[in-house]
Chain A
Amino acid sequence: MINFEEELKKFHESMEIEEVESAVREHELTDMTDIMIEMLRREKENKEL
């Protein structure tokens, strides 16, 4: 059975066009490639030490 109040909590306000800039800035852009490059860099540093 659908509970109106509970379902309503799942809806959130949409971002307005003026907020595009902040949406882009807050976008999480770390990917697997970044993680791999970071791991390789740390491994290299450990070897040098």
Chain B
Amino acid sequence: MKCYACGNRLGREDFCAACGADVRVYRRIISTSNRYYNDGLQKANVRDISGAIISLNRSLKYNKRNIDARNLLGLCYFERGEVVPALSEWIISKNYESKKNIADEYINFLQSNPARLDTLNQTIKKYNQALNFCYQNSQDLAIVQLKKVLSINENLIIGYQLLALLYIEIKDYEKARRTLLRAIRIDRNDITTQRYLKEINNLITQQAENGETKDGAPQLLAQDIITYQNGNDTIIQPVGTKEKRGFSSIINIAIGLVIGIAISWYLILPQKITMATKENDEKFVAVSEELAGEKASHQESIKQAETLESQNAELTRQIEELTGTNGAATDNDRLLRAVTTYLEDPAQSDSVMEELDSIAPDYLSDASESFRTLYAKMKETAAGDALKDYLDSAKEALKTKDYKNAIEYYTKACALAPDNSDYLMDLAYAYRESGDTDKAVETYRKVIDEFAGTQNAMDASEYLSNR
């Protein structure tokens, strides 16, 4: 465990050995987060995915950097067929811990196959479409769409729940029950699934007691069925009935033969047709996936070409800047102008300094030795004169109460002589007189911080305390 204040590794003490911070409460928070993570892990192990999600979210409320909890939360979402929340958790996890993080593998698993990612996205779109069909009272279309979704994304719990709800609406309770049992196999304790299942069991029992059936089959009376509970399931079973006797065995054999021939005629042929159709469907799916992959690869190539083009344009621009072919002044020109200005009139130190200051520091660090020597020499020569000019101008401006110019010149003087606290004090005075108290206080504080123990620092403190 690391200290929240300085990041140092903590020992057994209730305080950080490096910075002295009290870590008792922090330790308790981390411990609670870990406890919730363990709880979530145990629940996930027994397929209580909903319970695990609640525990893991609580764990992250205590410690958002609990990487294991966040990765497991992403896995739980993924297990429930919810790809986007899963990806979000893994991306956040990777952001907190970029090295040796299993979230990397999960993200790569999804992103390495664009066709799979595209298929998952299609299922999300189809689910949303099915939901819209429900709102438009087109239950049949919604059921067809949801069946397609669940054939591709077999773990989409909300899909099963919506499909079961639709079956309940059209009073096909047995299908609703089977759908919910598939959802239960993925997430045992989802409250919505459990609630629907309980309701369906009640409805089926009630239907059996009333003797109602959906398909018009012979009605069962309450005394004709046995109902009992097996775990979460309610088993409904008719009381055993005896076979009718009295038909002659010959008639039975004849009927059996006729049925056998009919089955061969009507079942084997359609099965062969179905097999051929299925084979064609599989080929179609394979070709579709290949096409989707090719499409993604093509788009990737276009993106790469665009990136290379923009890089090329940027490099061309940089070359033009460096060679001066675009008409803009280069840093070489600036140094030459500074030297020329100084040779023509050494008193124009202000212009010389402006030219020198306009040379980019990045360019300077990469420039040749002779360039840097000439730059340093010019700056040293011009700086002394410029400082004097700035101070004279600043004092003149103060005399005429032109505080704006006084501030400008003292700021320049401070930049040239950062180790002189007198100029800073004068600058603070100019701010004060100009009415900019905030900047004056800031400058006085700078004097106190950077020149502690000097007379100027004491004067600055006095001003701040008397303010």
Contacts and interface: CB of A to CB of B under 8 A. Distances in A.
Interface of A: 1-2, 4, 7-8, 10-20, 23-24, 27, 29-34, 36-37
B25 interface: yes
B159 to A, nearest CB: 9
Contacts of A12: 131
Nearest to B25: A36
A11 B4 contact: no
A5 to B, nearest CB: 10
Contact of B64 (A2, A15, A17, A29): A29
A19 B88 CA distance: 10
B147 to A, nearest CB: 17
B68 to A, nearest CB: 15
Interface of B: 4-5, 25-26, 29-30, 32-33, 60-65, 82-85, 87-88, 91-92, 117, 120-121, 124-125, 127-128, 131, 134-135, 158, 161-162, 165, 168-169, 192, 196, 199
> Nearest 6 A-B pairs (CB), nearest first?
A31-B64, A15-B84, A17-B121, A23-B88, A13-B128, A4-B169
Given A23-B85, A33-B4, A13 B131 contact: yes
A20 B91 contact: yes
Contacts, number: 87
Contacts of B121: 16-18
B127 A14 contact: yes
B165 A15 contact: no
Contacts of A20: 84, 87-88, 91
28 contacts: A4-B165, A8-B134, A11-B134, A11-B161, A12-B131, A14-B124, A14-B158, A15-B124, A16-B125, A17-B83, A17-B87, A17-B120, A17-B121, A17-B124, A18-B121, A20-B84, A20-B91, A24-B92, A29-B64, A31-B61, A31-B64, A31-B65, A32-B61, A32-B62, A33-B26, A33-B30, A33-B65, A36-B29
Contacts of A37: 4-5
Nearest to B195: A2
Contacts of B82: 14
A5 B83 CA distance: 27
Given A8-B135, A20-B91, A32 B85 contact: no
B128 A33 contact: no
A25 to B, nearest CB: 10
